[in-house]
Amino acid sequence: MGIIMSRLQGKVAVITGGSSGIGFATAKRFAEEGAHVFITGRRQAELDKAVEAIGRNVTAVQGDVTHPDDLDRLYAKVRETRGVIDVLFANSGFIELQGIDQISPEHFDKIFGINTKGLLFTVQKALPLMRQGGSIILVSSIANVKAFQSYGAYSASKAAVRSFARTWTLELKDRGIRVNTLSPGPVDTPIIDSQFETKEESDKLRESFAQVIPLGRMGRPEELAAAALFLASDESSFVAGIDLPVDGGMAQV
């Protein structure tokens, strides 16, 4: 007998960066659990593929979290078609490696523009639609507590995200809105390949991560989606302001 999954039955979820990797896996899982999911991302072709793969309970709205007008358009679509948001998964992120001696203003602005500023306005502009008792999940990273060479601006941007969860937990408590961060360790997604020119280089990084992760392998997007489901659902009704690392133990031991 199949298991009927409906932990998000009738809920409305918004996922930024929802066309690939962790965002896509989470959108798929949320839809399977009964939510109607709005996904956004910059590339229309990727969004179309994601919608086809998810198959039902999904609406794609092309947009970039660094453009306020795109966020307004996303939420206008949610307002018109569903009227409310129960779960917001603020997942859009960007990574580029530069050491302290290389960092340029452009590098800094791009990383903080997407990972921190874009995330802040993703949340702020969603608030008028957030239902009492809703769940906001911010995607941070174990880089918010652990040093990785050449990840300076990225790690700082993700530490800021962790800080937002604390502040917003207090600021939104009267509305019963829970804010938590989800911090992935190394996860095997296209972002790994995007950091290198050749597959050999990216595979080398995968191997080096596997060697330092206590569980001996990188994470899978579906494992992050399962943790996001916990934070999105009523099963985490007394969980607020936390940072949930899903990292195979990498930053924990």
The catalytic site residues sit at 154
Q: Is the dihedral of CA 252, 89, 86, 72 positive or negative?
A: positive
Question: Which DSSP category does 219 fall into?
Answer: B
What are the tokens at 66? Answer: 């660094």
CB of 76 within 8 A of CB of 128?
no
What does the alpha-carbon distance between residue 122 and residue 4 come to, in Å, rounded to a whole number?
Answer: 32
172-205 as b/e, with b when 16 or more CB fall inside 10 Å? beeeebbbbbbbbbbbbbebbbeeeeeeeebeee
Question: Which DSSP category does 113 fall into?
Answer: I
Q: Residue 6, Cα to own-chain centre: how many angstroms? A: 21
CB of 148 within 8 A of CB of 99?
no
CB of 48 within 8 A of CB of 100?
no
